[in-house]
Structure 1
Amino acid sequence: MHFSRPSRPGAGVLTLAAALLLGGCASRGPLPTFYDFGPPAAPVAQTASAPLPVLVIADANGPSWLDSQRMYYRLLYADAQQSRPYAYNRWNTPPLQLLSQRLKSRVAQGGVKVLSTTDAAAGIPLLRVDVDDFSQNFDTEKKSSGQVTVRASLFRGHQLLDQKTFSRNSPAASADAQGGAQALALASDAVAADLLAWLGTLNIPKE
């Protein structure tokens, strides 16, 4: 005849607590991976004279979904009008802030003294950037690219001096969030270089 061994006091409670803890960990799912633009690219070649001695660059404007940390992509081959978020991938800073900082640093590398709107003085030209597109687009299941399109407007006071749209597309090395982040960083750097070259062609009248 066999007798069952009496259970230790509290053993059932400890087992239940452990099960709940493991269940809670499982329900949270994988931890998100965060991306940014990475280290700045090599400095742009500085010309003998900067396109503008001093420039105020306002923070970039754009749609509300670019002011969050979620990473979005589009399946052009399936439904180009639908923007889909990655489940477990995020930007560590909203794209509007990432793009603003990269544009400012690249223009400063070109020899321009960059000021913020809070430091602006009367008469200093102001650059406003509106982001029209910032997305990873999939042409097929295995082929994607980063698309960045911005509209740059140069003002002095309330006078519009010039305006131009810049658009760059960079192929992604991999068909995932990591490839998209790298492609968007490259496209952003290319747009910044185009913008700096454009500033160098402008004949800004003196006050």
Structure 2
Amino acid sequence: MAKTFSSWRGAWCVAVLALGMTACSSLPQPPQAVVRYDLGVAPALSTPVVAASASALAPIALGPIQTPLQADGNTAVRYRLAYADAQVLHAYTQARWSLPPGTMVLQRLREHLSEGGRIVLSAEPGAIPPSVQGRQVPVLHLALEEFSQVFSSVQDSVGWVRVRATLVDPAPQGDVLLAQQVFDVRQPAAVPHAAAGVQALAQGVDLIGQHMRQWLTSGVVPQRTP
């Protein structure tokens, strides 16, 4: 009889312990903290311009960047599933940019374009075009046409950055088109998650900054005669 009671008591303890574990596991879990990212520190350019001419470093102005696929103020980290629904932009639930992507990209590109001592001013819509020593400078308009992590499979993805740059010479009768170039970079992500996608996007922006700087030193900015 004692043995039977002891066995029953042991079984009862196990049942109570199991019930307690079940109750604990059913308690609401605290929400995961949202991680906020930026583009990090800009690396030194790997292809510096040596002995740039005066025309290569002629001053320019940057207008506000257009972000057709990003709502104003939206800081979501976006991704596409190219193998399933490439036309749909998804958003990570626990990953955000610290600032709207257009703001970060414009600031990073400004850093790249200022390399070598080039003067980079700001051009505001509706305002008088900026000038240097009494002469108006060309205005570079940018459009961030793609800024997302694109998955070609469950494991493989790239950070896709696409920027359209349009250089114009402001004139009273209307802007004169000087040059236009599309910069498209797809930088592989190391692993299939948001942090790796953010890193690939940051690297893509830096590559575009280098290419854009070289483009502007190729003679598309007209030299101002004295």
**Which TM-score band (shorter chain)?**
0.7 to 0.9
* Contact 2:69/2:145 (<8 A) preserved: no
Q: Which runs of 5+ in 1 are unaligned?
A: 1-21
Q: Which runs of 4+ in 1 moved over 6 A?
A: none
For residues 53-202 of structure 1, what are the structure 2 equivalents within 5 Å? 53-63=58-68, 65=70, 67=72, 68-117=74-123, 120-121=130-131, 122-157=135-170, 158-202=175-219
Alpha-carbon distance, 1:55 to partner:
1.1
Taking the aligned partners of 1:114 and 1:81, their CA distance within structure 2 comes to: 36
Alpha-carbon distance, 1:59 to partner:
2.5
What SS is found at the alignment partner of 1:87?
Answer: strand
Alpha-carbon distance, 1:62 to partner:
1.3
Taking the aligned partners of 2:196 and 2:71, their CA distance within structure 1 comes to: 18
Larger radius of gyration: 2
Per-residue CA deviation, residues 87-119 of structure 1 (Å, 9 max, x unaligned), is: 111000111011000100001014311111258
Q: Identity, % of aligned pairs?
A: 32
Per-residue CA deviation, residues 143-202 of structure 1 (Å, 9 max, x unaligned), is: 110011111111111111111111111001121110011000111111111111111112
Alpha-carbon distance, 1:65 to partner:
2.0
* Contact 2:162/2:185 (<8 A) preserved: yes
TM-score normalised by length of structure 1: 0.81
Root mean square deviation, CA, Å:
2.0
What SS is found at the alignment partner of 2:136?
Answer: coil
TM-score normalised by length of structure 2: 0.75
The aligned residue for residue 38 of structure 1 is: 40
Aligned pairs, how many? 183
What SS is found at the alignment partner of 1:65?
Answer: coil
Q: Partner letter of residue 190 of structure 2? A: A
Q: Partner letter of residue 153 of structure 1? A: T
Q: Which runs of 5+ in 2 are unaligned?
A: 1-26
